[in-house]
């Protein structure tokens, strides 16, 4: 098992872009929580705490590569080019929603072909063999594309995790598997999922490289993901990255984490906010001031609020279109 260290691998402009994407995700997340409380939106599956590894992993792939994300991948989608207005169209289930034309819970099930975001599913781990399949198809066609596949720690307890990773390993496929390990599958902690908390250790069983990384350390995440993408492009097969993060909010707005997490643990989780850590690093390097970083967040917050107000006014899907674009 390899362990990455923080590495100076990006320019100031690249890091400031990563920071802005994280702020965009936080702004949408915070706005959705407000909308749910106001009874204007139905649901939020929060990405708070996941933003660092999500922007780092997605920035490490190219426009021609595929993103095969889990349902908590808001920041992944933003890096691919999803706009705040598009996201809010999905939140309000409007006709113009490019993610599912208003058919699905926001972020839960969708696809975006233009941005090469493969279908997102609620069936935990079901997309892992699909990522292997996408990479296998690319190999058969002689294409140089990589599939970035993200999932939570709970997904690694599913049979489809084994099937997907093993198939990709046997065929040396260009897949980067990223476990966004927030320590919980809803209310079930890691210690009840596995006796070995290091997911990356499993890579040895598949004959692939496993990497453990601190998910609040954006440069280390970016470094690990770029190395994994380069390895995949060289034909050296998949990498399994275990990004250890802290889930800051409840599993979703339907869940109350105070029922199974102590106050101390939730406070500890908040201290591992990847945005705060990244800003501290950028300030230390004098690449941004704290005031300028706060202004980026404020701009994103305003944009998210405006996107919500705009989206709410857009047309609803027509009843006669209810069965359009559905199989059956």
Ligand X SMILES: Cc1ncc(C[n+]2csc(CCOP(=O)(O)OP(=O)(O)O)c2C)c(N)n1
CB-nearer residue toward ligand X: 112 or 184: 184
Beta carbon of residue 185, minimum distance to ligand X (angstroms, whole number):
3
Beta carbon of residue 199, minimum distance to ligand X (angstroms, whole number):
10
Q: How buried is residue 175: exposed, middle or buried, by Cβ count under 10 Å (0-12/13-18/19+)?
A: buried
CB-nearer residue toward ligand X: 208 or 248: 248
Take residue 172 and report the two structure tokens written for it.
């040396």
Beta carbon of residue 241, minimum distance to ligand X (angstroms, whole number):
15
Residue whose C-beta lies closest to ligand X: 152
Beta carbon of residue 45, minimum distance to ligand X (angstroms, whole number):
7
CB-nearer residue toward ligand X: 49 or 237: 49
Beta carbon of residue 145, minimum distance to ligand X (angstroms, whole number):
25
Beta carbon of residue 190, minimum distance to ligand X (angstroms, whole number):
9
CB-nearer residue toward ligand X: 48 or 251: 251
CB-nearer residue toward ligand X: 210 or 215: 215
Q: What's the CA gap between 250 and 44, in Å, rounded?
A: 10
CB-nearer residue toward ligand X: 182 or 253: 182
Helix 274-284 and helix 290-312, axial crossing angle in degrees, nearest 10: 140
Note whether 179 and 243 are within 8 A (CB): yes
Q: What's the CA gap between 295 and 301, in Å, rounded?
A: 10
Take residue 208 and report the two structure tokens written for it.
């692939």
DSSP secondary structure code for residue 11 in this structure: -
Torsion of CA 49, 52, 58, 59, to 10 degrees: 160
Q: What's the CA gap between 187 and 185, in Å, rounded?
A: 6
Per DSSP, helices labelled H in the chain are 12-37, 51-59, 74-80, 84-91, 127-141, 159-170, 203-206, 218-233, 263-271, 274-284, 290-312
CB-nearer residue toward ligand X: 15 or 184: 184
Beta carbon of residue 309, minimum distance to ligand X (angstroms, whole number):
29
Q: Is 211 helix (H, G, I), strand (E, B) or coil?
A: strand
Residues in contact with ligand X by CB under 6 A are 72, 122-124, 151-155, 182, 184-186, 251
């Amino acid at each position: 098992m390899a362990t990455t260290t923080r590495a100076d691998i990006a320019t100031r402009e690249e890091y400031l872009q990563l920071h802005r994407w994280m702020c965009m995700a936080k702004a949408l997340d915070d706005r959705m929580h407000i909308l749910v409380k106001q009874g204007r939106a139905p649901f939020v599956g929060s990405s708070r705490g996941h933003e660092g590894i999500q922007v780092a992993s997605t920035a490490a792939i190219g426009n021609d590569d595929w993103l095969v994300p889990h349902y908590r991948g808001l920041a992944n989608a933003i890096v691919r080019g999803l706009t705040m207005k598009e996201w809010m169209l999905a939140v309000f289930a409007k006709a113009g929603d490019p993610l599912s034309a208003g058919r699905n819970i926001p972020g839960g099930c969708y696809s975006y072909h233009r941005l090469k975001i493969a279908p997102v599913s609620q069936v935990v781990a079901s997309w892992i063999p699909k990522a292997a399949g996408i990479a296998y198809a690319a190999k058969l066609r002689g294409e140089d594309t990589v599939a970035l596949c993200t999932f939570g720690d709970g997904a690694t307890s599913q049979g489809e995790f084994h099937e997907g990773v093993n198939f990709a390993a046997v065929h040396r496929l260009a897949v980067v598997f990223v476990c966004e390990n927030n320590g919980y599958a809803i209310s079930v902690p890691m210690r009840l999922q596995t006796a070995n908390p290091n997911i990356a250790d499993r890579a040895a069983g598949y004959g692939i490289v496993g990497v453990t990384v601190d998910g609040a350390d954006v440069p280390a995440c970016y470094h690990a993901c770029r190395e994994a993408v380069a390895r995949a492009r060289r034909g050296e097969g998949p990498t399994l990255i275990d990004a250890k993060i802290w889930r800051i909010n409840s599993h979703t707005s339907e869940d109350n984490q105070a029922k199974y997490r102590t106050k101390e643990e939730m406070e500890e989780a908040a201290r591992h906010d990847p945005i705060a850590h990244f800003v501290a690093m950028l300030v230390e390097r004098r690449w941004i001031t704290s005031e300028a970083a706060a202004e980026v967040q404020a701009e994103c917050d305003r944009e998210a609020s405006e996107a919500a107000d705009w989206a709410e006014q857009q047309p609803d899907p027509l009843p006669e279109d209810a069965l359009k674009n559905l199989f059956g």
